[in-house]
Structure 1
């Protein structure tokens, strides 16, 4: 007897033959060797004059190859090709179904995100081949750790997700996630090197009634962000405060996009004093946001979000252009303006922008300023992310005539090791060492060491955060070149800074 799938296929075909109708479609037939094989078939009845079926003609075409191709396409649409885990699309489909079941049964559903800490550094330093191998190993281990009822997926570049179903309590999700996170962390042996891996995790749970799939994923992602903000290598569980912070971040990001269009950004200038002459000889350009509802906001209120969103690129370009324009005006308008220097900060995201050098070159040409009067300030930690790339980039800036300043010096872990490697001109001593320098012998000793080392290497020193006459006196006696801080002046709008400089005060 011929066996088919669907099981009633032959019944349908016989009925249509009896009516003198042609049957056309697909069916799966059990072959003699016991294998089910798919066919595309056309069955045509040959009727006698009285309408009875005389014989049946059938044409069958083996479509195994096509079916295999369709299955492969379906798999590729729902799986990550590198790790072979389900992808974002499949996770969202499964999550929607799980939430519907959860609403009926009263159980809990949870989503956990796991992010490989510092994966970007691994990728950039050891190469994408090592990074891909690490992701595959992580995926394989993660898939073995989740329960059979649950699902592991690759959600993004170095971001994995776990869908957990039929939970009795939301706390169960946190315990499961932490167990998996700790199991994934540890030493991983690669062909080239052994790596110590850690993971950050964020968890969000729902009873299926008050949350849809997109919201639950958003909440889990907010919890992951919280875990990273608190130092990584930990698990964070979503709560209402995180949602409020996420809404605030979105509001700030949206506002920043508007601020760029509506010219709401401002530059303030904090004067710097030459400690040999006691006169103002430069300033650092510092960004502010003239918010339409909240007044003037400092960089701490929005720059971290600009960094994460990528808005720091257009913002940084605006800062560089505006600072150079102001320097061009002051070089003409201020007494001894041609000797005036301007410090401009560059962010880590700007440093990896391919067109950075070309953009700065265009700004210098457009504004007509002397590039030697621009001090590009870069924090030590950013340079240490990729030393070779940093040296190459700094050398290109030096070739343009720019002065280079190492900002927040002394706060990184390899300051002395790399100080000679970077082609810098200025060392900015972090305010944490300047504070209390008049009363704390340790701070004074550190600053003296930095000043002496810088002088030996032919570098100028600028002390940040100077707030008392005593600190200024000690810095001058130690041989520091320049001082900057609230003792001299707070950051000022351009018109107020110009007025102060024109008074020609002495410290």
Structure 2
């Protein structure tokens, strides 16, 4: 038996490791593929090519004669050994166990051959690590958020649907959904930049995950009983399983909100934020994941309206209100298409001459079923769904057109002016200045006769675009008013950064003007400081003679309020102006 050696269990091997010339040809012919020859009866390795050795990270003498199963293992679906079946095996996924203890995924094909009249198996193997990584990346992109690593909406909905099916089978099983929204994140993102915004989201995700683990209420995404996910933008959502009382869920919501008592550290700076939470607990009426998400979203909307850092538990009353709101949204869209809006005008009066110097244009919605609706009942909705832009342009055009007619009918020196409110969304429109210029040209109204009113929230955004837009409007000759001054966070020292001409002191200060000396002192200080900075002042909400007299003593130039004149339709306003000019 020259040139041969006796292997384990009497298996015959070629002295150089090649079982036969036939094997040599086959192994060499496989080229870049790994190849292993296995004795079909003993499952011992007869030979192996250099490609397979490189994949194993082993030397030939460490492999030849060893049990095949020591190096090649099934992934779970295949049989424990190719030799067990005695048949040709189509390409399937296996695991190659390397000499350093690591493993790599492979694709293995098996072909039956004969070596010295003994049945053998020729395995060709291919490293599919790159393909498996790509598949894993694809899977993660489909079910996990790339920024935070949390489960994404698709995976969350899938787990939520499983909970619903379980609850339908098991009457005692209950679960809840907590939808979190970071307060003022959009402002933070625009003010500090997109990169800081993303890092803030990652910091929030990490803090919530850690807190939920620490309190042993919810595990991270890999836990099969609870799920924390990112729903997109600045919204996160938690699926709490096995809860029995709303009080337990509320405690979790409170614990999460308490996380934001301390600032987040992002890129070397402290970020202060808070979270509003909407809570929906499963009931038999929830037959789909989307229904539960809708309920949580309705509760979240209510929480945001209550103020930053609030939480609300969904109930059926909210559902009815949500249906009502959806109906109103649909009606509002139709109203824009059918131009169901009109204007009323409230006089702005000189407190020195008692003459009307201008008017403020106020929108009214002529709803076909509800009657005339005030701005407070539809403007917030219009802002949320983006309809404030077309509504605002309608109001602006009609106000300018009407004022031009009044100026022709009732000439005065200086001419009458019209004030129109702008929302923050309108100011953020890149073409606002151009649109205003077009409307002035179309209606023939002089730019100096148009006063645009903005709120403090617009200035709080303080981005380049907002400042640039305001300066473009100012350059056209339009005057800018700060509406509701004193209700937000602005200060006169802060206002110098913006081209503001007039401050409108909010009605809350005027209301107790003659009752609260502190209010009187504050209004007096505002007027004095405004004059020093070259700004005018308009007192809003004058409702009594005592308030009027107090403002006159302070030498306030302009006033507006029900005591002076209520908002009037076009014809009534025309008659008032006619009497003044008569």
TM-score, scaled relative to structure 1: 0.89
Task: After superposing the two structures, state which structure 1 stretch, 112-121 or 415-424, moved more.
Answer: 415-424
Q: Is residue 2:188 matched to residue 1:122? A: yes
Displacement of 1:113: 1.3
Partner of 1:407: 483
Q: 2: distance between equivalents of 1:337 and 1:16?
A: 105
Q: Is residue 2:434 matched to residue 1:358? A: yes
Q: Is residue 2:131 matched to residue 1:66? A: yes
Work out whether residues 111 and 161 of structure 1, in 8 Å CA contact, stay in contact via their aligned partners in 2: yes
Change (3 A) 1:325 1:31: same
Change (3 A) 1:240 1:422: same
Q: 1: distance between equivalents of 2:455 and 2:285?
A: 48
Q: How does 1:422-437 map to 2 (within 5 A)?
A: 422-437=498-513
Aligned with residue 111 of structure 1, among 174, 177, 181: 177
Change (3 A) 1:10 1:380: same
Partner of 2:156: 91
Q: Is residue 2:404 matched to residue 1:328? A: yes
Displacement of 1:74: 1.0
Q: 1: distance between equivalents of 2:515 and 2:206?
A: 57
Displacement of 1:107: 0.9
Q: How does 1:464-483 map to 2 (within 5 A)?
A: 464-483=540-559
Q: How does 1:436-475 map to 2 (within 5 A)?
A: 436-438=512-514, 440-475=516-551
Q: How does 1:296-375 map to 2 (within 5 A)?
A: 296-336=372-412, 339-375=415-451
Work out whether residues 109 and 207 of structure 1, in 8 Å CA contact, stay in contact via their aligned partners in 2: no
Partner of 1:173: 249
Work out whether residues 170 and 206 of structure 1, in 8 Å CA contact, stay in contact via their aligned partners in 2: no
TM-score, scaled relative to structure 2: 0.78
Deviations 1:404-430 (A, max 9, x none): 111112323332322433322222122
Work out whether residues 430 and 465 of structure 1, in 8 Å CA contact, stay in contact via their aligned partners in 2: yes
Work out whether residues 404 and 445 of structure 2, in 8 Å CA contact, stay in contact via their aligned partners in 1: yes
Q: How does 1:84-233 map to 2 (within 5 A)?
A: 84-105=149-170, 106-144=172-210, 145=212, 146-147=218-219, 148=223, 149-207=225-283, 210-233=286-309
Change (3 A) 1:337 1:311: farther
Q: Secondary structure at the match of 1:492?
A: coil
Task: After superposing the two structures, state which structure 1 stretch, 24-33 or 133-142, moved more.
Answer: 24-33
Q: 1: distance between equivalents of 2:554 and 2:408?
A: 34
Displacement of 1:32: 6.5
Runs (5+) with no aligned partner, structure 1 = 18-22, 48-52
Displacement of 1:390: 4.7
Partner of 2:92: 26
Runs (5+) with no aligned partner, structure 2 = 1-42, 44-68, 213-217
Q: 2: distance between equivalents of 1:393 and 1:208?
A: 52
Deviations 1:428-472 (A, max 9, x none): 122222225345544433333333333333322222112233433
Change (3 A) 1:410 1:174: closer
Displacement of 1:206: 0.5
Deviations 1:459-499 (A, max 9, x none): 22222112233433333343222222222322122222112
Work out whether residues 479 and 501 of structure 2, in 8 Å CA contact, stay in contact via their aligned partners in 1: yes
Q: 2: distance between equivalents of 1:309 and 1:58?
A: 63
Partner of 1:278: 354
Q: 2: distance between equivalents of 1:192 and 1:325?
A: 53
Work out whether residues 404 and 423 of structure 1, in 8 Å CA contact, stay in contact via their aligned partners in 2: yes
Q: Is residue 2:71 matched to residue 1:6? A: no
Larger Rg: 2
Work out whether residues 99 and 207 of structure 1, in 8 Å CA contact, stay in contact via their aligned partners in 2: no
Work out whether residues 284 and 342 of structure 1, in 8 Å CA contact, stay in contact via their aligned partners in 2: yes
Deviations 1:193-215 (A, max 9, x none): 22333222121110566442111
Q: Secondary structure at the match of 2:204?
A: helix
